Amino acid sequence: MSQQGGRPTGPEDDWWGQLYDDSTGDTGPAPVPDSLDDRFASAAGAVGGRGVPVAGAGEGAVSQPVVPAPRSGADDVMDAPGASGPAPQRAPWEPPPVRPTGPVTFPAAAKRQGPERTPPAPPTVPPPPPAPPFWPSPEAARSATAGAPPRGPTAEPGPGGTPAAAPADLPPAPPRPAGPPPTPSLSAGSPPTPPPPTDPPPDQPEPAFERPASSPRPRGHVGSRPPTYDAEPTALPLADPDDLDDLVADTVLDGARYGACTVRAVSVRGDSARYRGEPRRDSLLTARFGTGEQALLLVAMATGARATPGAHRAAAEACHWIGRAVGRSHTRLVEDIRAGRRGDLKSGLHRLTDRSLGKLRASAAEQGVDPEEYAAGLRCLLLPADPECRTRVFFGVGPGGLFRLRDGEWQDIEPQVAEVKGEPVVGFGSPPSETPDGDRLTMDLGIPTPPSPYEPAPEPPREPFRFRTSVARPGDTLLVCSGGLADPLRGEPELGDYLAERWSRPEPPGLAAFLADAQVRVKGYADDRTAAAVWEA
């Protein structure tokens, strides 16, 4: 019974037997060939909409599509010389025609537009590699897309629109080199793409690439061995969320140009501090006080005590204190520099330096820190902005270096100070070891110390004050630096030679180049580096 509830009129599942009954014979071969090429050709004719009018139909009759005849291997061969009739049409997806091995004559594009003319014989073209079945070559696809005629010499149109015959005395084209043919242009009217350049013969050496001598690549390190630490920062210093102003940047870079001098200044954290995640102990301050020719440039650098927690704070305070003192007295300082009053400059700058370091010691007492730990070395450079004044003034306290590069040679012009001898004076010197009467003072044995015979009591020993003035010459380079750069510059001659070659050029380096030069590393020297260089025009 069926699913609708009615009674079937015939045997159940009779439709299944009629459909799959083996007794039905084959209908025989199709009246027309039915291959993959025939189906492609039939589909191309139907999609293209080309047809022929139906015989006996009226004006509005619908034309029937033309079904092309089956293709054979003879249709794939291009027309031979003297062949008549239109060239067989080919769909874009059909494989390219098989070219004959001998010379052929390609039909000109104008052959279909005017009277027949015999074109000259084209050069011999080697056959291209065969394309895979049912997949057009890129050349055939581009020719079909752009509607270009087959490759070959095209006749130019003559007067009246008729094509002119090409000259018959053209020399034959040279044979093509072995290898794949050059890729033709996508445009039908564009000239052919020139073949790629070939390699030079084996006996001819290739031209060597020479780097310009004016811009050598900066070096990473000098010396016989590379440094121990990495060249780039590794760890950041520990930060306090409630005191983010205490953070110190890894690198500080600055520069300016005033009058006849160009200034470059940099302070870089050392390799050791970068590896351990410690803050930079060096501090750098560049400031301009005043305007015009009355302006005064100050470059101050300070280095905190080694292995102390607040060394970077002490160095920053030292730079700020000396900056305030110089800024408030810059008018008088400019006058003394122009007039060449060396004695007044030395005494005045000594007084400003002692006052600044004295405030640093007072800050240490307020914080309850030992003044020896909360201390810093200070080195400063004064540069007048007046182009007519070439006097450069250096002063400071603590280790470091003062160098001058003249005629390609380094000169160490660090001012030498004599050893302090004799009885201590108020505010300077070392504490006495015994009284004038010969009584020895005991300090470390827990015995009460008698009151000092000197009032007020002498301060702890300090570094002597350093001062120097120099007149710059055109082409000089003055370098003021902390111990992190002064020590390797004195201890590694290769570093001095490298910087002398880099900084002896007519134009001073840019900020990035100066930074790269200042951090050229030397094994065994991993402290912070702070430097300021002045190029004289």
Res. 13 pLDDT band, cuts 50 70 90: low
Rg (CA), the chain: 47
Number of CB atoms found within 10 A of residue 83's CB? 11
Tell the burial category of 484 from Cβ atoms under 10 Å away from its Cβ (0-12, 13-18, 19+): buried
* Residue-level pLDDT at 452: 47
CA angle 159, 162, 168 (to 5 degrees): 90
- Per-residue pLDDT averaged across 45-58, rounded? 55
Q: Mark out the alpha helices in 368-436 (DSSP H runs).
A: none
Name residue 285's beta-bridge partners: 300
Q: What share of the chain is helix, strand, coil (3-state, %, to 5)?
A: 25, 20, 55
Percentage of the chain surpassing pLDDT 70?
Answer: 53
Residue 227 reports pLDDT greater than 50: yes
Q: Which amino acid is at 298?
A: L
Average pLDDT, the chain: 73
Residue 466 reports pLDDT greater than 70: yes
Instruction: Considering only residues 361 and 118, tell me which one the structure prediction assigns the higher pLDDT.
Output: 361
Res. 122 pLDDT band, cuts 50 70 90: low
pLDDT digit string, tens, across residues 270-285: 999 999 999 999 999 9
- Residue 163 is given by DSSP the state B
- Per-residue pLDDT averaged across 217-221, rounded? 67
Q: Which amino acid is at 223?
A: G
For 350, the 3-state DSSP assignment is: helix
- Per-residue pLDDT averaged across 100-108, rounded? 50
* Residue-level pLDDT at 106: 45
Res. 214 pLDDT band, cuts 50 70 90: very low
Residue 199 reports pLDDT greater than 90: no
Region class of 147: left (phi > 0), else alpha (psi between -120 and 50), else beta? left
- Residue 392 is given by DSSP the state E
pLDDT digit string, tens, across residues 149-174: 444 444 444 444 444 444 444 455 55
CB-based contacts of 305: which residues, under 8 Å, 6+ apart?
Answer: 311, 314, 372, 373, 374, 375, 376
* Residue-level pLDDT at 93: 66
- Per-residue pLDDT averaged across 358-377, rounded? 91
Is residue 163 a contact partner of residue 113, using CB atoms and an 8 Å limit? yes
C-alpha span between 383 and 260 (Å, rounded): 10
* Residue-level pLDDT at 385: 94
Q: Which of the listed CATH numbers 1.10.3080.10, 3.60.40.10, 3.40.50.150, 3.90.105.10 matches domain 251-414+457-536?
A: 3.60.40.10
* Residue-level pLDDT at 327: 96
Phi and psi angles of residue 318, each rounded to the nearest 5 degrees, phi first: -60, -40
Instruction: Considering only residues 332 and 65, tell me which one the structure prediction assigns the higher pLDDT.
Output: 332
Using omega within 30 degrees of 0 as the cis cutoff, is the peptide bond preceding 456 cis?
yes
Residue 229 reports pLDDT greater than 50: yes
Number of CB atoms found within 10 A of residue 41's CB? 21
Res. 30 pLDDT band, cuts 50 70 90: low
Instruction: Considering only residues 139 and 54, tell me which one the structure prediction assigns the higher pLDDT.
Output: 139
CB-based contacts of 83: which residues, under 8 Å, 6+ apart?
Answer: none
Res. 69 pLDDT band, cuts 50 70 90: low
Lowest average pLDDT, out of 19-33, 161-175, 398-412, goes to 161-175
Angle formed by the axes of helices 330-339 and 311-328, nearest 10°:
70
Residue 232 reports pLDDT greater than 70: yes
Lowest average pLDDT, out of 181-195, 285-299, 382-396, 466-480, goes to 181-195
Res. 43 pLDDT band, cuts 50 70 90: confident
C-alpha span between 480 and 297 (Å, rounded): 14
- Per-residue pLDDT averaged across 459-464, rounded? 64
For the record, the structure tokens of 430 come out as 């070392």
pLDDT digit string, tens, across residues 484-536: 999 999 999 999 999 999 999 989 999 999 999 999 989 989 899 999 999 99
Please state the pTM of the whole predicted model: 0.55
CA dist 396 to 286, 376, 487, Å? 15, 11, 17
- Ranges of each domain in the chain: 251-414+457-536
Is residue 483 a contact partner of residue 270, using CB atoms and an 8 Å limit? no
For the record, the structure tokens of 169 come out as 């005395």
Phi and psi angles of residue 356, each rounded to the nearest 5 degrees, phi first: -70, -45
CB-based contacts of 430: which residues, under 8 Å, 6+ apart?
Answer: 420, 424, 458, 461
Residue 445 reports pLDDT greater than 80: no
Q: What is the enclosing helix (H) or strand (E) of 147?
A: none
CB-based contacts of 531: which residues, under 8 Å, 6+ apart?
Answer: 265, 266, 479, 480, 481, 482, 485, 518
For 403, the 3-state DSSP assignment is: strand
Number of CB atoms found within 10 A of residue 404's CB? 18
